[in-house]
Amino acid sequence: MKRVNAIFRHPLYQAYYRRLEELEQDRIFCRHQMTHLLDTARIAYIRNLEARLGLDREVIYAAAILHDIGKSLQYKDKIPHEISGEKIAAEILDSLTAENAFSDTEKKMILTAIRGHRKLRKDPEVLEQLLYESDKASRMCFACPADPQCSWSEEKKNREIRI
């Protein structure tokens, strides 16, 4: 998982991640930190194996740990985080050293998945749909004390224990 760890250690990733951590310190609703990011990655990877989608593990984990990286800009500047996240992720992916680089095809898949993770398009790409579904499945709405105040639609809320 060398390439995934290179993303996590990237200075830009660290800067946005820490900023978000600070902003969500007292948040009663879903947070967007490593527990959520890795839950999403692991659910996606399990589903990938079960459905024999054939996606690369590092590509799945890269998309998952990057997908909410723009969230601090949504809190502060009201920029939808799938848009800022796609830009930040592109900058990070483009500046990885050659030994940790993702191919152009992999980068495109990851960026498309980040851009599409909040609202599923018609005919989404495979990784895009996997990230969308795993992101929602990672949330434990069925056991969340903030559920009554949460603005998520009933359709998005996860009401049972799944993978």
Can you give the binding site for Fe ion, defined by CB under 5 A?
68, 135
One-letter amino acid identity for 12? L
CB 27 to Fe ion: min, Å: 13
Q: How far is the CB of 98 from Fe ion (least distance, A)?
A: 30
Rounded to a whole number of angstroms, the minimum distance from the CB of residue 13 to Fe ion is 15
Between CA 34 and CA 43, with CA 39 as vertex, the angle to 5 degrees is 150
- AA letter at 68: D
Q: How far is the CB of 61 from Fe ion (least distance, A)?
A: 14
Q: Which is nearer to Fe ion, 85 or 106 (CB)?
A: 85
Comparison of 68 and 133: residue with beta carbon closer to Fe ion: 68
Q: What angle do CA 48, 52, 55 make, to 5 degrees?
A: 50
Of the pair 87, 101, the CB lying nearest Fe ion is at 87
CA pair distance 20, 162, nearest whole angstrom: 28
Residues 6+ apart with CB under 8 A from 127: 55, 59, 60, 63, 109, 110, 112, 113
- CB-wise, 23 or 101, nearer to Fe ion? 23
